[in-house]
Homo-oligomer: A and B are copies of this chain.
Amino acid sequence: MPTLDTLNDPNQLRALSAEQLEELAAELREKMIRTVQHTGGHLASSLGAVEITLALHRVMTSPRDRIVWDTGHQAYAHKLLTGRREHFHTLRQLGGVGGFPRRSESEHDVFDGGHAGTGVSIAVGLAAARDLSPAGDPLRDQRIAVCVGDAAIQTGLTLEALNHLGDAKHRLLIVLNDNEMSISPSVGGLSTRLNKLRLTRAYQETKSLTQRVLPRIPLIGRPLFAALAFTKEGFKRSWAKVGFFEDIGITYIGVLDGHDLGELEQSFERAFALPGPVLVHVKTIKGKGYGPAEMDSVSFHGASLPPIDLCLIDPTEEPLPPETEPRRRPKTYTAAFAEELLRLAADDERICAITAGMPTGTGLARFGARFPSRLFDVGIAEQHAVTMAAGLALGGMRPVVALYSTFSQRAYDQLVHDVCQNDLPVLLAIDRAGLVGEDGTSHQGMFTLGPQRALPNLVIASPKDEQELRDLVVTAFAHAGPMSLHYPRDPGEDLPDREGEPLEIGRGEVLLSGGDLLLVGFGPIVQRLLRVAQSLERQHGLAATVINARWAKPLDEELIIAQAVGRRLVVTAEESAAMGGFGDGVLDALNRAGIRVPLLKVALAEGFVHHGAVEDLRRQQRIDAPGILAQIREAMGLREPIVRPDSDEASSVSAA
């Protein structure tokens, strides 16, 4: 990569010619595509943001100036330009370059992100800090920019930040990276407004003028933005005013072509010259430089690249999976959930579903295809999703809100106040509970189980396999109050499809009986406990009882207490933060019953869990079967037996 390979600092970008920049943009895209084929990742958004990245780094002097990437999944070009080029092949792998900005990787990363909609608030805070510095301090000239997507800008958090900023008037550039692919007509009034804007005459005229005039201008050896002075007439016309942003006090510039580097640079410079907050509305093409729509117009130096499906409809964009050997994968928990929901909804018209901008990821897209009027996609608005569900329940419906565990944190107050306080029959489907892998720190589903345990009226379940998930979905709709149902991103146990059957709330089950130890698991980790029990038997002659708790609340205290009495060790297992979780509930129940047996709590260790393959992370956390077995050995003072690698004993805990 002749141009990219010469760049070790983003401030070298200002010395490049227009031709070199064009070359660089193509190289960045090629590098991203080649990497993501092997690592998986959020490719399309980052492809769309290449010119925005170049323009920001050319008009700003990072790290003195601060570039905030909202969500962070558009930052691959930024990463490649700020010292991570040589390690980029380790993207999203254990110990490698992370998928989102990380301050530990580079001084050019301002903020460790991952959740949508945080960027404007962060930038407002940075700008407020800058504006408090004393007169004469060179910091006062600091430029601050935040790049936010059209889906993320509609989060309540960002709307709060914009509302405050419009009044506080801090000098700040907001780049609204608006790629039409991420917007579905169902998502938000503001989207409709943005869609209308794209169709305005002023924008169309600018576009066509740019397209007609630009190719005829000799660009060689001159910065692209200088060349663009010729297009001033068309450029000016795009400085439209938009009611929404202007109404709340933010100067609006747009709509610009997000792949026209010169236009971007000139607008950004003008924005920074203004005394208050400016939003520059930029239209980009998601997946720019790749995919059927783009292949013809872009040169990849003759590289032949296999097609990747970029038609991703989630606003937050599901990351592309890495290229692997094609093999049949068992049905995921998500798919089993979606199928059971669809089956029940066919017979019960009260069942409706809400997604916060993730119809595909949560499996609800199929529900929407079958029952379009009963699926509500509210955009990235978890708070509204949960409170609206409370309203639907008050109106006699049986709503399910399907959220990723980590994103459901946004709706904690709504769960407490709107759903539980009102004791409403809302099913909270907590997908991606537990470790999610390569998306890393911000995305692990580990901080939702504990907080939910304290909530009155809520029942909380997690299934041992995908069949039991179907049972729990049936159970939820037969229950008159709120229920939270946690299940992982993982594939299931490859069990045959069958219809769900109602289960008794608060009733666990004994899967295996043995007199020495008691192993109690919450969720699919129970499968690992069964393997651990086998190993304990074979390797140490210890017999274990294994309980599938099913319910974290109400806990089956009767069963657990009866089984715990007289054991050498009780082991609890969950894939969630250790403090305040399922294990603490078991410990509390045993204490209240006056049963004082040693208890080993298997859970995620204190601290955040970073990116890597789920299996690697489970090994690292010692919550895979061998790790759990090792923890039990330590707790009981057992020595690890020496076995031949091909023996039965070794193989029983070989699969995580």
Indicate whether A192 reaches chain B with its CB closer than 8 angstroms: yes
The 29 sampled A-B contact pairs (Cβ below 8 Å) are A110-B394, A115-B417, A118-B417, A118-B418, A121-B387, A121-B390, A124-B391, A125-B390, A125-B391, A128-B391, A128-B395, A129-B392, A129-B394, A132-B397, A154-B160, A159-B159, A159-B160, A160-B379, A163-B381, A165-B189, A166-B188, A168-B376, A190-B248, A192-B249, A409-B416, A447-B454, A451-B580, A456-B607, A579-B588
Instruction: Report yes or no: B442 in contact with A421, Cβ–Cβ below 8 A.
Output: yes
Instruction: Report yes or no: A167 in contact with B192, Cβ–Cβ below 8 A.
Output: yes
Bound state CA distance, A566 and B278, in angstroms? Answer: 66
Bound state CA distance, A163 and B352, in angstroms? Answer: 20
Known: A383-B157, A414-B157. A391 touches B193 (CB 8 A): no
Measured between C-beta atoms, what is the minimum distance from A248 to chain B in Å? 3
Most B CB within 10 A of own CB, among A110, A186, A242, A381: A381
Instruction: Report yes or no: B587 in contact with A588, Cβ–Cβ below 8 A.
Output: yes
Residues of chain A whose beta carbon lies under 8 Å from any beta carbon of chain B: 103, 110-115, 118, 121-130, 132, 154-157, 159-168, 185-193, 242-244, 246-250, 349, 352, 373-374, 376, 378-379, 381, 383-384, 387-397, 399, 407, 409-410, 412-414, 416-418, 421-422, 441-442, 446-447, 450-451, 453-456, 553, 577-581, 584-585, 587-588, 591, 594, 596, 598-599, 601, 606-608
**Which residues on the B side are within 8 Å of A446 (C-beta)?**
454
Instruction: Select from chain B the residue with minimum beta-carbon distance to A193.
Output: B247
Instruction: Report yes or no: A422 in contact with B243, Cβ–Cβ below 8 A.
Output: no
Contact of A189 among B166, B553, B601 (CB under 8 A): B166
Contact of A247 among B247, B384, B387 (CB under 8 A): B247
Bound state CA distance, A157 and B155, in angstroms? Answer: 9
Bound state CA distance, A128 and B388, in angstroms? Answer: 9
Bound state CA distance, A396 and B137, in angstroms? Answer: 14
Most B CB within 10 A of own CB, among A191, A250, A451: A451
**Which residues on the B side are within 8 Å of A584 (C-beta)?**
580, 584, 587-588
**Which residues on the B side are within 8 Å of A162 (C-beta)?**
189
**Which residues on the B side are within 8 Å of A352 (C-beta)?**
128, 132
Known: A193-B248, A409-B417, A587-B591. A580 touches B110 (CB 8 A): no
**Which residues on the B side are within 8 Å of A185 (C-beta)?**
167
Instruction: Select from chain B the residue with minimum beta-carbon distance to A134.
Output: B349
Measured between C-beta atoms, what is the minimum distance from A154 to chain B in Å? 6
Measured between C-beta atoms, what is the minimum distance from A574 to chain B in Å? 12
Instruction: Select from chain B the residue with minimum beta-carbon distance to A443.
Output: B417
Known: A421-B112, A447-B455. A414 touches B164 (CB 8 A): no
Instruction: Report yes or no: A412 in contact with B412, Cβ–Cβ below 8 A.
Output: yes
Instruction: Report yes or no: A598 in contact with B587, Cβ–Cβ below 8 A.
Output: no
Most B CB within 10 A of own CB, among A113, A391, A396, A596: A391
Most B CB within 10 A of own CB, among A163, A578, A591: A163
**Which residues on the B side are within 8 Å of A389 (C-beta)?**
125
**Which residues on the B side are within 8 Å of A407 (C-beta)?**
413
Most B CB within 10 A of own CB, among A129, A384, A587, A588: A384
Contact of A160 among B123, B384, B394 (CB under 8 A): B384
Bound state CA distance, A121 and B385, in angstroms? Answer: 8
Measured between C-beta atoms, what is the minimum distance from A407 to chain B in Å? 8
Instruction: Select from chain B the residue with minimum beta-carbon distance to A114.
Output: B417
**Which residues on the B side are within 8 Å of A168 (C-beta)?**
376
Instruction: Report yes or no: A189 in contact with B250, Cβ–Cβ below 8 A.
Output: yes
Measured between C-beta atoms, what is the minimum distance from A597 to chain B in Å? 8
**Which residues on the B side are within 8 Å of A599 (C-beta)?**
591
**Which residues on the B side are within 8 Å of A383 (C-beta)?**
121, 156-157, 160, 410
Contact of A163 among B189, B374, B409, B455 (CB under 8 A): B189
**Which residues on the B side are within 8 Å of A442 (C-beta)?**
417, 421
Measured between C-beta atoms, what is the minimum distance from A226 to chain B in Å? 33
Measured between C-beta atoms, what is the minimum distance from A398 to chain B in Å? 10
Known: A112-B421, A189-B248, A190-B163. A579 touches B454 (CB 8 A): yes
Instruction: Report yes or no: A450 in contact with B247, Cβ–Cβ below 8 A.
Output: no
Instruction: Report yes or no: A580 in contact with B163, Cβ–Cβ below 8 A.
Output: no
Instruction: Report yes or no: B187 in contact with A167, Cβ–Cβ below 8 A.
Output: yes
Measured between C-beta atoms, what is the minimum distance from A279 to chain B in Å? 12
Bound state CA distance, A189 and B161, in angstroms? Answer: 10
Instruction: Report yes or no: A164 in contact with B388, Cβ–Cβ below 8 A.
Output: yes
Instruction: Report yes or no: A161 in contact with B384, Cβ–Cβ below 8 A.
Output: yes
Contact of A395 among B125, B190, B387, B451 (CB under 8 A): B125
Instruction: Report yes or no: B416 in contact with A413, Cβ–Cβ below 8 A.
Output: no
**Which residues on the B side are within 8 Å of A585 (C-beta)?**
579
Known: A115-B417, A167-B186. A392 touches B125 (CB 8 A): yes
**Which residues on the B side are within 8 Å of A125 (C-beta)?**
387-395, 399
**Which residues on the B side are within 8 Å of A414 (C-beta)?**
118, 121, 157
Instruction: Report yes or no: B167 in contact with A191, Cβ–Cβ below 8 A.
Output: yes
Instruction: Report yes or no: A112 in contact with B422, Cβ–Cβ below 8 A.
Output: yes
Instruction: Report yes or no: A122 in contact with B450, Cβ–Cβ below 8 A.
Output: no
Measured between C-beta atoms, what is the minimum distance from A224 to chain B in Å? 32
**Which residues on the B side are within 8 Å of A110 (C-beta)?**
394
**Which residues on the B side are within 8 Å of A381 (C-beta)?**
160-161, 163-164
Bound state CA distance, A115 and B418, in angstroms? Answer: 9
Instruction: Report yes or no: B418 in contact with A409, Cβ–Cβ below 8 A.
Output: no
Instruction: Report yes or no: B412 in contact with A451, Cβ–Cβ below 8 A.
Output: yes
Instruction: Select from chain B the residue with minimum beta-carbon distance to A408.
Output: B413
Instruction: Select from chain B the residue with minimum beta-carbon distance to A413.
Output: B409
**Lowest 8 A-B CB distances belong to which pairs?**
A125-B391, A166-B189, A156-B156, A129-B395, A580-B580, A243-B243, A189-B248, A121-B387
Measured between C-beta atoms, what is the minimum distance from A231 to chain B in Å? 29
**Which residues on the B side are within 8 Å of A246 (C-beta)?**
243
